Amino acid sequence: MGRILGIDFGEKRIGLALSDGLGITAQGLETCKNEPNLFSHLKKLIQEYAIEKIVVGIPRDQKGRIDRHLPVIDFIAVLKEELNLPVETWDERLTTSEAERVLLSADISRRKRKKVRDKLSAQIILQSYLDYNSNIKN
């Protein structure tokens, strides 16, 4: 099984996480700026880590609906076109607040929390995706 890249999309920053080769665990990879060279950077990561699939967190309302006018929808369309990999979406409700709670409980300073929150959110998104899919297979 190839690795999976998890993405927490933000208009300013993008959190990235990576699965292990077996698709069991997710590790935070990095937080990068949402800027024009983002896709070339993602292409390098895809080659470096032999990534075969991308999972993007997508916000849903409390009834599970997706607002089709969100910037992440356009981002996903470009991802599919530019990177030519399967892209799945995953419900990201409450992942940022969960990441913030984890960082607060670890007594991380506000400045440091800001630097790692998006990466941790991507890790939470990807780990929940991996957990769900491993439960389906069992």
Q: How far apart are CA 27 and CA 19, in angstroms?
A: 6
Q: Which of 92, 77, 70, 109 is nearest to 17 (CA)?
A: 92
Here the tokens at position 37 are 């060279």
Assess whether pLDDT exceeds 90 at residue 133. no
- Could you report the per-residue pLDDT of 24-76, keeping only the tens digit for each? 999 999 999 999 999 999 999 999 999 999 999 998 777 777 777 789 999 99
Predicted local distance difference test score (pLDDT) of residue 19: 97
Predicted local distance difference test score (pLDDT) of residue 24: 93
Q: What's the whole-number mean pLDDT along residues 83-97? A: 82
Predicted local distance difference test score (pLDDT) of residue 122: 93
Minimum mean pLDDT range among 2-16, 96-110, 114-128? 96-110
Q: How far apart are CA 121 and CA 117, in angstroms?
A: 6
Predicted local distance difference test score (pLDDT) of residue 138: 57
Predicted local distance difference test score (pLDDT) of residue 62: 72
Minimum mean pLDDT range among 2-6, 13-17, 129-133? 129-133
Left if phi > 0, otherwise alpha if psi is -120 to 50, otherwise beta: which for 23? Answer: left
Q: Which CATH number fits domain 3-137: 2.60.40.10, 3.40.47.10, 3.30.1490.20, 3.30.420.140?
A: 3.30.420.140
The larger pLDDT score, comparing residue 15 to residue 116, is at 15
Q: How far apart are CA 80 and CA 18, in angstroms?
A: 18
